[in-house]
Chains A and B, each alone.
Chain A
Amino acid sequence: MLRLEKLVKTYRTGDQALKSVDLNVPKGQVVALIGPSGAGKSTLIRCINRLVEPTSGKVWLGDTELTHLGAGALRRERRRMGMIFQEYALVERLTVMENVLSGRLGYVGFWRSFARRFPQSDVDEAFRLLDRVGLLGMADKRADELSGGQRQRVGICRALIQNPALLLVDEPTASLDPKTSRQIMRLICELCAERGLAAIINIHDVALAQMFVARVIGLRFGAIEFDGAPEALTPDVLTRIYGEEDWQATIRKVDEDEAEASATAEAVA
């Protein structure tokens, strides 16, 4: 579904953010991308939808190669890639509904979007999505009135209303508390499963990644250092990705977290 071939990004400052990354993500697979700050996680995600222009290499989304596309064709392909941001990146002075509907901008003409007269099917879908994430009552609130967790849910709706084939998720939980972080990760993974979406999730929290995803990729200095199941993340592997540190606590925490999470789930149920 998504295939990266020898993707390289060298910034103008000379920093090599990505050194020939090859990656294949099949349809419906949720991948966590971990690695230290500056390893190139954000750059990798942004090179896929070309918010950052890759220096060389190829990006295949289905049968379309993205790196050569002109402006118009790129906009059409961007519709198939929903993006969820660190710090939410909602347009703060727009209403929740406008933020969600902005996910349809690639499908409607300028004057329609300017007048905020979106097709009824888009409006219905927006309400359905808001209801799904529990924010139906907030539709006419301004985005900056919401809490962090609520904002990220709006961000998720904005990405999903694009009807994408792939989700690019950049540090979705970086500014959220631990409980909300889990809820957001769970929501993203559930929605991906419901809709058969592939997703790449940049994430700092290794334990959180292990709880939710089927495949983990470790990036170090712009190269893939590890690619495998979350269970295979041993202290040795983490040392290879992040450098020397005592990893026992991080890994043990996973087991406890899972026990606690299931306990919470039972208590809720």
Chain B
Amino acid sequence: MTAASPELTARLGQPWKKPPLIRQAWLRIALSLGAVVYLAAAVSTVEVNWSRVYEGLDRGAAFILSFTRPDFLTRGSDIWEGLSESLIMTVAASVVGIAISIPIGLGAARNIAPLPVYLICRSIIALSRALQEVIVAILLVAIFGFGPLAGFLTLSFATIGFLSKLLAEDIEAMDRTQAEAIRATGAGWTQWINYGVQPQVMPRLIGLSMYRVDINFRESAILGLVGAGGIGATLNTAFDRYEFDTAAAVLLLIIGIVMFLEYLSGVVRARVQ
């Protein structure tokens, strides 16, 4: 060993600390203080009418208590009808949405699509994501009238934005050399996708599709509120009539089905890894 350099000598015996994210101490302190002041100011502007809250507590309690005695029977046929409508809507919209999402997802991955195709597909995705489901549903109900057709179209449209985007991102993050190796064999484009790209993104595609089925079912409950059919319509009617026990039954069914779908997607994802 040679003698320690002056630079090293200066460092030895000194404690070491991780360098801070913002180097200037005054800026660091000012930003933290500013954040605290803003938060306090923001909270203080939210008005709370405490006497209204006190009155509302009773109604809230009645609603929550009704969960202890949900009524599945009085409106049994309505619930059943709404539920089967929702399930049909969910399955149909998921299948159609996923089928359309795959080509758009391929086109929206920069590493496999040429620039014009990429831009078109990204625009479609941006459009689908910018329009929230409820807004689309209101528009489609205006066009197609009340009922599950509007809900089905809304969910299909929303699925495209969700699934294409995440699929495209997964394709962009794939291992390039595996795909390159397939290209080097002289494979055509479709063969290249089938052998080099698809195996890499398939587990995620399946996982995301399952997740989307789950989301579509939950959304179908919301869409009923704006007239797009399904269990949401039943739920809305129940609320309008102050039939909290029927509403509780509907909500319990939705929770049960979502939990079942969650379990199912866990099983499926574990198997396709």
- Chain A positions near chain B (C-beta within 8 angstroms): 49, 51, 75-79, 81, 83, 85-87, 89-94, 98, 102-107, 110, 113-114, 155, 158, 162, 168
Contact = CB atoms under 8 A, between A and B. Distances in A.
B177 A93 contact: no
A158 B185 contact: yes
A116 B187 CA distance: 14
A232 B55 CA distance: 96
The majority secondary structure among interface residues of chain B is helix
Contacts of B178: 89-92
A77 to B, nearest CB: 8
Contact of A94 (B184, B186, B192, B195): B195
Contacts of A75: 186-188
Nearest to B189: A71
Contacts, number: 84
Contacts of B190: 110, 114
A51 B183 contact: yes
Which of A77, A105, A158 gathers most chain B CB within 10 Å? A105
B188 A105 contact: yes
Given A87-B177, A114-B191, A158-B185, 8 more contacts: A78-B183, A89-B180, A91-B199, A102-B182, A105-B182, A105-B186, A105-B192, A113-B194
B196 interface: yes
Interface in B202-225: 202-203
A78 B183 CA distance: 9
A125 to B, nearest CB: 14
Contacts of B237: none
B111 interface: no
Contact of B202 (A83, A86, A93): A93
B187 A89 contact: no
A86 B178 CA distance: 11
Interface of B: 175, 177-178, 180-188, 190-192, 194-196, 199-200, 202-203
B188 A102 contact: no
Contacts of B187: 75, 102, 105-106, 113
Nearest to A72: B188
Given A76-B186, A78-B186, A110-B190, A89 B181 contact: yes
A149 B249 CA distance: 60
Contact of A85 (B177, B199, B202): B177
Contacts of B199: 91-94
A79 B186 contact: yes
Which of A78, A91, A102 gathers most chain B CB within 10 Å? A91
Nearest to A49: B184
Contacts of A102: 181-182, 185, 187, 195
Contacts of A104: 185
9 contacts: A49-B184, A76-B186, A78-B185, A83-B184, A98-B195, A105-B192, A106-B187, A114-B194, A158-B185
Given A89-B177, A91-B200, A106 B185 contact: yes
B195 A91 contact: yes
A99 to B, nearest CB: 9
A105 B177 contact: no
B185 A162 contact: yes
B106 to A, nearest CB: 15
Q: Which 9 A-B pairs have the closest CB atoms?
A: A106-B186, A105-B187, A78-B186, A89-B181, A79-B186, A93-B199, A89-B177, A83-B184, A75-B186
Nearest to B197: A91
Given A91-B178, A92-B178, A113 B195 contact: yes
Nearest to A75: B186
Nearest to A84: B181
A51 to B, nearest CB: 6
Contacts of A77: 186
Contacts of B202: 93
Nearest to A113: B191
A155 B184 CA distance: 12
A58 B177 CA distance: 25
Contacts of A76: 186
A77 B184 CA distance: 10
